[in-house]
Structure 1
Amino acid sequence: MNIAVDSGNTYAKIGWFEKDELIRFQTRLLWGDLVQEIRQEMPDQIIFSSVANRVEDFRESLGGEVNILDLSPKTPVPIKKEYKTPETLGADRVAAAVGANWLFPDEDLVVIDMGTCITYDFIDKSGSFEGGIITPGVKMRFSALHTFTKRLPLFEPVAIPDLIGKSTQEAIESGVMNGVLAEIEGIINQYRHISPSLRVVLCGGDISFFESTLKPSIFAVPELVLIGLNRILRYNVALQ
């Protein structure tokens, strides 16, 4: 059994895999909960990806003999990176791209990851990561309206509301949620000018607000990053 760990600034996600099959997963785990979950059943291999924690601390917290692959810019991955600054390319973007390329091989892809930021990454049919777009995420937009004004309250994401808001709250909710929806649809259309046969793959914590509203050609894979991490782990094990 292998484990994939995606540890963010606040929470972590973890996936248990038997070869390529995702057996189960958990999200929104605090650091202590993450370590406890793994220690209950130590795996054969772990891949660890984190923007906030060091792999040395992770290894020490587990206190056991387990092989841990730390995902870094130098880690071999089963796609090509045509990116000017690969050392700054986020591990989550790489993992999502690997996962999408494995699920949908020999296709032009755009991966839309809806987390703290929204990223749009293009992977061509040869498995080459060409780059993409980074924009503010849903909660970041609500927070910006509140932080950079004196009187606008802070609200939370909601299901796609009516376009015309009848109150300040409704107007803010419509502005953010319909604005993000229009952005996604507009950017997808621009990508389709590059590749008319493009497949769109959606992942990330905020996809539930949008997946039913977007056109049927969108494929939602909520745990795409974990799937990609597992593929990177298996790829590196095969190289040994």
Structure 2
Amino acid sequence: MLLAVDAGNTNVVFSIFDGETLRAKWRASSDSKRTADEYAVWLTQLMTLEDLRPADVTEAIIANVVPAAAYHLTALCESFFQAKPMVIGDPQVDLGIQVRMDRPENVGADRLVNAVAAHHSYGGPLIAIDFGTATTFDIIGPDGAYEGGVIAPSAQHSSEALYRAAAQLPRVKIERPEHVIGKDTVPGMKSGIYWGYVGLIEGLVARIREEYGQPMKVIATGGLAPIYAEATSVIEAVDQDLTLRGLCLIHAANAGA
């Protein structure tokens, strides 16, 4: 079985694939100081709840955007699962797509993995929106090439910035408010955060399509994807396992090669 690890700035997602079947996945908060031993204690206990053993894992692959966590995640795979991991970004790992950027080495590993999975499942050209630590809009060409993107602050961080900057404004939950026009402070904040980001999504998608000059599908992934997808028709599909499936596809292609 394959251990696929998606390490982001906010969360680390561990998943187990049996062939192309996603058997289980677990999420932990990102902490670059967390050691391989600490990960192992947590992960192996969760595996037992799914009737999985460390010995079941024979291969591993990692997409990581937190450089300080790289050593511990690699050590986890090698020490506790006896599997030398493929690492997205290593020269010997072929993504199978072109990266048409001025500096391809600066593109986040998760964004490239998303491009692989999105093109495999939905074709192209398309826009893949990832509601993660940042809200990213990634452009995938008809041939699967990564052609660029847009990076915006996440709704969570915008909400937190508003709370920290204004003494009389509270923290609010990101959710669809009953009305656009708020009749009090909290409803007004919720409306601005929610409908403001709906406007950001629709506006950026429209401008990307206009500049690209072709019809483009739009898919979304990440924690807030379902919340925002229900409010706008521009998002045509929500795929919460996009990155994990991309890791599985890349591993299969490289293992076969």
User: What TM-score, normalized to structure 1?
Assistant: 0.89
Residue of structure 2 in register with 1:45 after alignment? 59
Q: CA deviation at 1:196?
A: 4.1
* Among candidates 190, 202, 207, match of residue 220 of structure 2: 202
| Matched residue type, 1:236 | N
Residue of structure 1 in register with 2:236 after alignment? 218
* Among candidates 28, 33, 58, match of residue 42 of structure 2: 33
Taking the aligned partners of 1:35 and 1:8, their CA distance within structure 2 comes to 21
1:80 is paired with a residue whose SS is coil
Matched, 1:94 2:112: yes
| Matched residue type, 2:59 | Q
Change in Cα spacing, 1:89 to 1:178, as seen in structure 2 (3 Å) is: same
Change in Cα spacing, 1:203 to 1:95, as seen in structure 2 (3 Å) is: same
Q: Which has the higher helix share?
A: 2
Q: Deviations over 1:51-109 (max 9, x none)?
A: 3354432343443421311222633201110011222211111111111011123x201
2:96 is paired with a residue whose SS is coil
Taking the aligned partners of 1:64 and 1:115, their CA distance within structure 2 comes to 28
Q: CA deviation at 1:173?
A: 0.7
2:226 is paired with a residue whose SS is helix
Please tell me whether the aligned partners of residues 201 and 221 of structure 1 are also in contact (alpha carbons under 8 angstroms).
yes
1:165 is paired with a residue whose SS is coil
Please tell me whether the aligned partners of residues 12 and 34 of structure 1 are also in contact (alpha carbons under 8 angstroms).
no
Q: Deviations over 1:192-229 (max 9, x none)?
A: 32244311110001112112222176111011011111
Higher relative contact order (CA 8 A, sep 6+): 1
Q: Which one is further off, 70-79 or 87-96? A: 70-79
Unaligned ranges ≥5, structure 2: 31-38
Q: CA deviation at 1:151?
A: 2.3
Q: Which one is further off, 132-141 or 55-64? A: 55-64
Q: How does 1:110-149 map to 2 (within 5 A)?
A: 110-149=127-166
Q: CA deviation at 1:5?
A: 0.7
Q: CA deviation at 1:27?
A: 2.7
Percent identical across equivalent pairs? 26
Matched, 1:164 2:181: yes
2:85 is paired with a residue whose SS is strand
Q: Deviations over 1:28-48 (max 9, x none)?
A: 467452365468334121111
User: What TM-score, normalized to structure 2?
Assistant: 0.84
CA RMSD in angstroms comes to 2.2
Taking the aligned partners of 2:201 and 2:90, their CA distance within structure 1 comes to 28
Taking the aligned partners of 2:234 and 2:136, their CA distance within structure 1 comes to 20
| Matched residue type, 1:235 | A
Please tell me whether the aligned partners of residues 191 and 198 of structure 1 are also in contact (alpha carbons under 8 angstroms).
no
Taking the aligned partners of 2:99 and 2:185, their CA distance within structure 1 comes to 44
| Matched residue type, 1:34 | L
Taking the aligned partners of 1:37 and 1:5, their CA distance within structure 2 comes to 15
| Matched residue type, 1:185 | E
Taking the aligned partners of 1:217 and 1:104, their CA distance within structure 2 comes to 13
1:133 is paired with a residue whose SS is strand
Q: Deviations over 1:101-157 (max 9, x none)?
A: 11123x201000001110001111011111110001110110111122232222121
Unaligned ranges ≥5, structure 1: none
Taking the aligned partners of 2:176 and 2:87, their CA distance within structure 1 comes to 37
Residue of structure 2 in register with 1:103 after alignment? 121
Taking the aligned partners of 1:51 and 1:217, their CA distance within structure 2 comes to 26
